[in-house]
Amino acid sequence: MNDRAEPAASEIVLDPDLIAFAAQAGFRLHRDITSLTLADAGGEIRYTISAVPDGYLLTRAERAGEPEELLWASTLGYVELILVELMSPAIEHRRLPRIKLPYGWNEAADGFEPFRADGRWAGLRRDGVELPVRLVDGDILHPVIQYSHLLGGSLRELIDSFSSPDGAPLLRDHVRESSDR
């Protein structure tokens, strides 16, 4: 049992580089008492970070739909990494090539091994050590595999990779021409 208090929403502070990237992608930050939400201009897509016992929960909602769980992580840094990937399609207006990450269960990034966790969740081990992050898993698409490819560098390097015409410095091997979508 954990007797630590869960972090308050006021303690959910995103990296300034991520906030700037979100703004470029057309997302705005909204706070309430229990969470922090990044929403696109029309509120059509909303990513909400909520403080939960032992970490943070990321959900996604579209239009008037109910939020769907995407990721739990013990630290905000893990949440920030996936937000870069989730918001990146919105910067395509800059005519950047599409980054297409592998999603097959056997296609994890070097040094990572996926595992099935409780229920519909999956996790990752890096060099045999379990990471404190879980993603909702699919039957064919495995977000945990895609996520493993985001863990190769810093948040700044990941933002630079999604903002670069060649995916540098981290995602060069995953750049696809527009006809490969």
Assessment of whether the complete model's pTM goes beyond 0.85: yes
DSSP H helix total and E strand total for the chain: 4, 10
Query: Helix 155-163 crosses helix 16-24 at what angle (to 10 degrees)?
Result: 20
CA dist 172 and 181 (Å) reads 16
pLDDT tens readout for residues 126-139:
999 999 999 999 88
pLDDT tens readout for residues 46-97:
999 999 999 999 999 998 899 999 999 999 999 999 999 999 988 766 778 7
For residues 5 and 54, the answer to whether their CB atoms sit within 8 Å is no
Ordered by start, the domain boundaries in the chain are: 16-176
